Amino acid sequence: MTTYLEAIRQAIREEMEADPDVFIMGEDIGAYGGAFKITEGFLAEFGADRVIDTPISEAAIVGAAVGAAQMGLKPVCEMQFIDFIAPAFNVIVNFAAKVRYRTGAGAGLVIRGPCGAGVRAGPFHSQNVESYFANVPGLKMVAPATVRDAKGLLKAAIRDPDPVLFFEHKYLYRRLRTELELGNDVLTPLGKARTHREGVDLTIVTFGAMVHVAQEAAERLADEDGAEVEIIDLRTLQPLDEATILGSVRKTGRLLVLHEAPRFGGFGGELTALVCEGAFEWLDAPIRRVAALDTPVPYAAALEEAHLPQVTDVVSTARTQLNY
């Protein structure tokens, strides 16, 4: 059985084996093997020219990667925690995202790292940063929810000619396991959502670890209320698969948007606007959003659980829509 973490490791290794232009860089990814051991053994396998331990400077990591990408290489940068992407914000937003528009030559690099809460890591190691970058044309954003997609989407991201932000939910690293054959070229195209669960009564649109919260809520609603909930796993946040979202809402007539980041200014606002513009006349109940509280992620276990969206939150919100 392959874990979510191992699927990411496989994707990087296979792309490095297949293409000598692919290399990795980040803090402690070489001799130490990375904070979560994703790149363990890579230094011995590929050498110091392709497995580069960097100083503790995210801006330098991404800046060097952009330059390497413009010279034809394919860097994969690791943020030890995705929270630490903040020091590289200027390089990502004001250069990497705009370089194709400015010069005609893109920067094909991947910036990957563990996001999300639920592991008692506190406010500085638990954030979800997708909304920070959602307003930036030129960036692609990926958030896999399954083992297969963790591998397939990362391989597609590495092959993409433009910058891709790859958000791996650390809660899923060792909790998800799936049969995944080595040697198969598992490739998931960017920009295409996945129907995680078929249904006719309500659509839940979500991504990342919240797909599994939605699944548990849908099972409870089926058992206790007889409701069949459809779950759309976005997989790629940018570009967004608008057709799949709108098609599902037109079928069910109801939409619940679920994400782990705080509600205010979160990605759910864009999804709500999309459906209001493209499927308003199909709605039989108001759109509802379920998200984290507008606070930093707490350290204390009880407070972290209160902060994060829970299955009970999704179930109770869905029932108000189903009974509207």
Here the CATH number for the domain that contains residue 152 is 3.40.50.970
Same domain for 160 and 109, yes or no, is yes
Same domain for 212 and 155, yes or no, is no
Here the CATH number for the domain that contains residue 235 is 3.40.50.920
Mean pLDDT of the residues in the chain: 97
Given a cut of 80, is residue 38 above it in pLDDT? yes
Same domain for 235 and 159, yes or no, is no
Best CA proximity match to 54, nearest among 258, 212, 11, 39: 39
Residue 67, domain member (yes or no): yes
Burial class (CB in 10 A: 0-12, 13-18, 19+), 181: exposed
Residue 47, domain member (yes or no): yes
pLDDT score recorded for residue 180:
85
Same domain for 171 and 271, yes or no, is no
Residue 227, domain member (yes or no): yes
Residue 184, domain member (yes or no): no
Same domain for 44 and 117, yes or no, is yes
pLDDT score recorded for residue 6:
97
Cα–Cα distances in Å, from 8 out to 11, 18, 58, 113, 139? 5, 16, 21, 11, 21
User: Taking the CB of residue 124, how many other CB atoms lie within 10 A of it?
Assistant: 12
Given a cut of 70, is residue 99 above it in pLDDT? yes
Given a cut of 80, is residue 184 above it in pLDDT? no
One-letter identity of residue 221: L
Question: Which of 82-86, 104-108, 244-248 is predicted with the least confidence, judged by mean pLDDT?
Answer: 104-108
Given a cut of 70, is residue 137 above it in pLDDT? yes
Same domain for 200 and 172, yes or no, is no
Q: What is the mean pLDDT of residues 4-26?
A: 97
Q: What is the mean pLDDT of residues 73-96?
A: 97
Q: Which stretches does DSSP call E strand in 50-144?
A: 51-53, 74-78, 110-115, 140-142
User: Taking the CB of residue 16, how many other CB atoms lie within 10 A of it?
Assistant: 21
Counting other chains too, the contacts that 269-276 makes at CB distance below 8 Å and 24 or more residues apart are 270/134, 270/240, 271/205, 271/245, 274/240, 274/242, 274/245, 274/246, 275/245, 275/246, 275/249
DSSP conformation letters of 189-225: -TT--EEEE--SSEEEEE-TTHHHHHHHHHHHHHHHH
Q: Quote the number of domains for the chain.
A: 2
254 neighbors 203 (Cβ within 8 angstroms): yes
Show Cβ contacts of residue 13 under 8 Å, excluding neighbours closer than 6 positions. 42, 45
Query: Domain boundary at 144, 178, 212, which?
Result: 178
- Structural domain that includes position 15: 2-178
pLDDT score recorded for residue 320:
98
Among 125, 169, 196, 259, the active-site one is: 125
82 neighbors 136 (Cβ within 8 angstroms): no
Same domain for 165 and 24, yes or no, is yes
Residue 230, domain member (yes or no): yes
Judge whether 169 counts as a catalytic residue.
no
Q: What is the mean pLDDT of residues 212-220?
A: 98
Residue 187, domain member (yes or no): no
Q: What is the mean pLDDT of residues 200-214?
A: 98
Q: Model's pTM, two decimal places?
A: 0.96
Same domain for 242 and 274, yes or no, is yes
**239-251 pLDDT, tens per residue?**
999 999 999 999 9
Peptide bond into 114 cis (omega under 30): no
Same domain for 21 and 168, yes or no, is yes
Same domain for 139 and 278, yes or no, is no
Given a cut of 70, is residue 183 above it in pLDDT? no
**266-304 pLDDT, tens per residue?**
999 999 999 999 999 999 999 999 999 999 999 999 999
Residue 186, domain member (yes or no): no
Query: Domain boundary at 178, 208, 230, which?
Result: 178
Given a cut of 80, is residue 181 above it in pLDDT? no
Same domain for 37 and 143, yes or no, is yes
Q: What is the mean pLDDT of residues 137-159?
A: 98
Same domain for 246 and 310, yes or no, is yes
Given a cut of 90, is residue 182 above it in pLDDT? no
